[in-house]
Structure 1
Amino acid sequence: MNKSLKIIFFGTPEFATGVLNELHHSIHEIVVVVTAPDKPAGRGRKINESDVKKYAVENQIPVLQPKNLKSEEFLKELRSFHADLQVIVAFRMLPKQVWDMPPLGTFNLHASLLPQYRGAAPINWAIINQESKTGVTTFFIDEKIDTGAIIANKETEILPNENVGSLYSRLMVMGAQLSLETVHMIAQGNVSTTIQEENKQLKPAPKLNNQNTLINFDKSATEVDALVRGLYPYPVAKAVLQDQDEKIVKIHKSSIVHKKHQMIPGSFVIENGCILIACKEDMIVIEEMQLPNKKRMKVKDLLNGYTFDQDARFGKA
């Protein structure tokens, strides 16, 4: 029989709610949830609550939303719950006085097969880099980011033409299962850990920004398509379009055409209601695109109402 543990759960986005739900419906008790403070979002500056907070409120779980994780007031409140264990999923870096608090430690769930893809965007980078497999890992927290001793992992194949949306959903389910298994192991005192290897070639998973989400057509069509899939449905790949003026467009969906050409990368042709863009190798078909301040459209519909200049092309000037 598994021993029931008192758990403090730290998390913010939707991905974390899968784990929270699994633990909440187990024999273990979530004594409090710690999540990001509410913040105004959108044009109306409406107050936006995290997915984890919404779940906790709906399920009558107490919520803490500290601005300062080192404040004595917050630390005192945490101690008052007398938790056995802390579980972290997609939360900011914790100070040592927080992760060192519970007697059974603090573990994190990370959406990669550590030590590969440490960082903020592991699911995206696994697809962008055309990996054939990825997974989820639980590990005990230490002073650095995603470097602690590994408790357990599960892996899954990355399917051809898979995008972040489908992989995210699968890893969310796997991560929830692995987190509960990890809690059970800790409760039974049945944990053996593995130190992360530092001597292998490690690929990072840095935060996504305006630079690393921009398409470079001097790469192969295979690489461009992997970037589009690795950023769909969020935050979506972008491309510079030189057409009358320079504009940033969003590329939602694409596919590869294996076709030799003598065209300059970034130049394009329109054939049968499709935009075919030349890459360093082969060509990419843009299937769904979004012009600035417009809604996303299937390209065949977009071409009905938009005319490109004769010398228009994709890429920087």
Structure 2
Amino acid sequence: MNYKDLRIVFMGTPEFAVASLNALVQAGCNIVGVITAPDKPAGRGMKLQESPVKQYAIAKGLRVLQPEKLKNAQFLQELKDLNPDLQVVVAFRMLPEVVWNMPKRGTINVHGSLLPQYRGAAPINWAIINGEKQTGVTTFKLQHEIDTGDILLQQTIPIGENETAGEIHDRMKEVGAALLVKTIEELADGRLKEKPQVKTEDQRIQDTPALKHAPKIFTETCRIDWNQPLEAVNNLIRGLSPFPGAFTFLDQKMLKIYRGEKLSNSTNVQPGKYQTDGKTYLRFACADGFFNIKELQLEGKKRMNVEDFLRGYKFAETQSDN
């Protein structure tokens, strides 16, 4: 069967998903419907904002459905009427079985890790926080347990020493989009063999690496512990940049840090104390050196580089650079 003959329903909401939807459209896939989140009020005027996927779909003349609840009888009937052969999910919400099991050929998900590693909501962030040197993209079939379905295709992505989660995100969305098209092409003509994932309980039997997980990021995850080694602090900051952002406190105000560099010179300064010349640098002591801040955002202010920040900031206390 030619992949262009498949009736495909696409499900996604944020900008990350637009790259995949665009890749399918450009490849000539038959997108019979797009499911995305309902419009939400945002901004100062709290005006209703359409999701990036909805904006793209409307521009391309695609049919859009925006169910509040995925088990709603009317939505399920509308979905059934689309008669999908295949559903594709990219950065959407959890689907009930009645939805993911509806198409004849099942539902494909694009996940931002090399499954079975980093199952969960924040795979890009956790891979960097944990100091991984590579990550990747996986296409797989949805099953009952989250991120555990049979693997279809995978592609590895190297993580640069100073790359942030945002930079990996931007590269990954393009890699994932191309991998998705390849997956659908090979699935349609029968070339693709599904590969079952290793489950957690299989670890005792098989000689496989321990599974690392990627749970949702909470506020407590984002607070910098300056008692940690430089490498761990740098990884946390990169892994949470630009969102939600790793933070510390400066003169009792929250300070988000987006980028910096490791200064591995030995120090007798207490971890968490800062040094600055008031003009060109602001650095915090860690367990084994200093973290030199390059980009930051003080509570109530905009994001800026450290030189601009220092030009307009008056410190509540003075700490020497000796």
Classify the TM-score, shorter chain. over 0.9
How many Å separate the matches in 1 of 2:223 and 2:80?
A: 45
Give the AA of the match of 1:219.
Q
Name 2:94's counterpart in structure 1.
93
Match of 1:277 among 284, 301, 305: 284
Q: 2:301 aligns with which of 273, 277, 294?
A: 294
Identity, in percent, stands at 46
Q: Where does residue 23 of structure 1 map in the other structure?
A: 24
Give the corresponding residue for 1:255. Answer: 261
Distance 1:308 1:194 in 2: 58
- Residue 311 of structure 1 and its aligned partner are, at CA, apart by 6.5
Q: Deviations over 1:79-106 (max 9, x none)?
A: 1011110000011110001011011111
Residue 235 of structure 2 corresponds to which residue in structure 1?
226
Aligned partner letter, 2:111: H
Hey, what does 1:239 align to over in structure 2? 248
AA matched with 2:257: I
- Per the alignment, residue 315 of structure 1 pairs with none
2:312 aligns with one of 305, 308, 316: 305
Q: Write the distance in 1 (CA, Å) between the matches of 2:98 and 2:314.
A: 60
Unaligned runs of 5+ in 1: 313-317
Amino acid across the alignment from 1:215: I
- Deviation by residue 1:25-54 (Cα, 9 ceiling, x = unmatched): 223200000001111012211211111101
State the Cα deviation string for residues 158-212 of structure 1 (Å, max 9, x = none). Answer: 1111112221121111101111111112211222111111324111111122111
TM-fit CA distance, 1:260: 0.5
Secondary structure of the 1:138 match is: strand
- Return the letter of the residue paired with 1:281: D
Deviation at 1:77, TM superposition (A): 0.3
Q: Give TM-score, length-normalised by structure 1.
A: 0.94
Cα RMSD (Å)? 1.6
Which stretches of structure 1, 4 residues or more, deviate above 3 A after TM superposition? none
5+ residue gaps in structure 2? 204-208
Aligned residues: 310
Letter in 2 for 1:207: K
- 1:187 & 1:303 partners in 2: Cα distance? 58
Instruction: Give TM-score, length-normalised by structure 2.
Output: 0.92
Equivalent position amino acid for 2:90 in 1: V
Residue identity in the other structure for 2:137: V
* TM alignment of 1:172-183, pairs within 5 A: 172-183=173-184
* Aligned pairs for 1:109-258 within 5 A: 109-198=110-199, 199=203, 200-241=209-250, 243=251, 246-258=252-264
